[in-house]
Amino acid sequence: MMMIIRQDPSYWCLDDISVTNSGGAQLWQNGGFEQSPLTQYYVYCNPNNASASGVISTQCPHLGSNNFYDGSVSYSDYLSQSFTTVRGATYNVNFWLSNLGSPQNNFIVLIGG
């Protein structure tokens, strides 16, 4: 699952990501961003060197102490994590997101390969 993030001129706060299967098993790792470094559980990409790119922060957590804080300007950056799925199975995807600004901004979630 990949999250594509851009926020001009402010920030997004992302926290409490959860992906569970129909049996309730948690497939997403470190959804509360409580463990560092970010790259221990996530693939983070900032291909155009956007300023104010994403970091683990204490700026605006929903639950716990940390969140992902991203204000990527002019270009998007990307946060992703892979997990195993079964074709035809049902999954629940949840996350908490707060928009600290106004347009121009994007937050897109892509699921699938």
Q: What is the pLDDT of residues 7-53, one digit of tens each?
A: 988 999 999 999 999 999 999 999 999 998 999 999 999 999 999 99
* CB distance 99 to 14 below 8 Å: no
Coil, strand or helix at 40: helix
Give the global pTM. 0.93
Q: What are the structure tokens assigned to 11, written together?
A: 């920030």
Q: Tell me, what's the pLDDT at 35? A: 94
Confidence tier at 113 by pLDDT (50, 70, 90)? low
Give the residue extent of every domain in the chain.
2-110
pLDDT tens-digit series, residues 62-109: 999 999 999 998 899 999 999 999 999 999 999 999 999 887 789 999
* CB distance 104 to 8 below 8 Å: yes
